Amino acid sequence: MSETTNSKNVRDDEIDLLDLFKRMGKSLDTMFKTLGRWFLVSIVFLFRNWLPLLLSIVLGVGASYLIKYTSASFYTSDLVLRTNTLPAADMISYINRLHTYCLEDNQSALQEAITLKPDQANNIIDINANWIIDKGRDGVPDLVDFRDSHNIYDTINIRMQDRLNIRVQIKVPQELNIVREGLIKFIDSDSLFSQHNRIRIRQNQELQSRISYDLLQLDSLQKIKYFEETQRMSQPGNGQMIFLQEQKTQLVYPEIQGLFERKQLLDADITLYKGIATVLSDFSIPTKRENGGMYYGKVLIPLFFVLTLIILIILRNRRKLKEVYNKY
């Protein structure tokens, strides 16, 4: 009796499972048919209304160029800055104070920060500092993270800690040199940065003096005879000969070379990077304005197209919409 009941339950389970798969298959079939039908309806609808949709695109292009010729031009240029004293994170946070002034339209604070005249400060639209990304950790800069979307947990593609990118949007590109000088003065005016930089230079100079002293000491050792000739001593008695092996004296040339290379790096650091920050790549004067036709067209053309599409859908289905409105 129990065996019959168990077999019956198994058959019922199998039937339920088969029925479940059949229902899933019917649901998927219905879904794909519905999607296909909506796709065909959409294609037919677009073909039937190609003229107003085309006019919406033309209207979007026209509006984009109208705004282009009626609005003031602005230009974009980038500067790469090497931070010699502090990590790039501190420098980016410090420079982005200027970005906050631009967003708040605080012209007086911007003018005071980078020592500009009122008309020069009015020409600046934005100043923004961004991370430079090193792909593969090979020490070579590859791209700039303008959207600040880099994954900080990525251990292969990393943020470079010794340099950053500064992007400036300005109305008069000929004044970019003045902006660069103002940025350097803004960085040098920070007392904490200046103190760190003085400590760095003093420590490098002390280390440089110590390395010079060590080089002199090692150089004096080279005047000593490093390799002694093989000596054979014959001692009388019992007719025995004693042969002394050649002594192996450790060379100091590798140590001298290592210290000399380190001294050269310190010389370069003190001479080339004696400031808080150093400009690695200066602003270039752009010849093409940033807010061209496509700058506005990327927004206006899709906007006009979508609005026209919504209006056409409402007009085609106005009777159904009216019935729904009257019903509820």
- C-alpha distances out from residue 159 to 234, 238, 273, Å: 70, 77, 21
- Closest by CA position to 276, among listed 141, 177, 158, 162: 162
**Residue that the structure tokens 């904490």 belong to:** 192
Query: 128 is written with which tokens?
Result: 């923004």
Q: Tally DSSP H helices, then E strands, for the chain.
A: 10, 7
Please choose, from the candidates 140, 86, 89, the residue with its C-alpha nearest in 3D space to the C-alpha of residue 273: 86
Contacts of 165 (CB under 8 A, 6+ apart): 78, 79, 80, 81, 129, 130, 131, 132, 144
> Do 270 and 204 touch, CB atoms closer than 8 A?
yes
Q: How far apart are CA 303 and CA 169, in angstroms?
A: 26
Residue with tokens 């593609």: 157
Phi, psi (rounded to 5 degrees) for 11:
-65, -40
Q: Tell me if 157 sits within 8 A of 133, measured CB to CB.
A: yes
- The Cα–Cα gap between 84 and 280 comes to 12
The predicted pLDDT at position 224 comes to 54
Q: Which amino acid is at 47?
A: F
Q: Do 278 and 82 touch, CB atoms closer than 8 A?
A: yes
Alpha-carbon separation of residue 280 from 137, 139, 287 (angstroms): 20, 15, 22
Alpha carbon distance 157, 136 (integer Å): 5
- Pull the structure tokens for residue 173: 């590109």
**Length of the chain in residues, anyone?**
328
- In sequence order, which residues have a C-beta less than 8 Å from that of residue 164 and are 6 or more positions away? 80, 81, 83, 88, 91, 92, 95, 129, 130, 131, 132
Cα 188 to Cα 203: distance, rounded to the nearest angstrom: 19
Q: Which of 127, 161, 122, 155 is nearest to 141 (CA)?
A: 161
- Residue 163's DSSP bridge partners are 82
3-state SS, 93-143, equals HHHHHHHHHHHCCCHHHHHHHCCCCHHHHHHEEEEEEEEEEECCCCCCCCE
Which pLDDT tens digits describe the chain residue by residue (328 residues)?
A: 555 555 555 454 455 677 777 888 888 888 888 888 888 888 888 888 899 999 999 999 999 999 988 888 999 999 999 999 889 999 999 999 999 999 999 999 999 999 999 899 999 999 999 999 999 888 899 999 999 999 989 989 999 999 999 999 999 999 999 999 999 999 999 999 999 999 999 999 999 889 888 888 776 766 554 444 434 444 455 555 544 444 444 556 677 788 888 888 888 888 889 899 999 999 999 988 988 888 889 999 999 999 999 998 888 888 887 777 777 7
Dist. CA 242–CA 236, nearest whole Å? 10
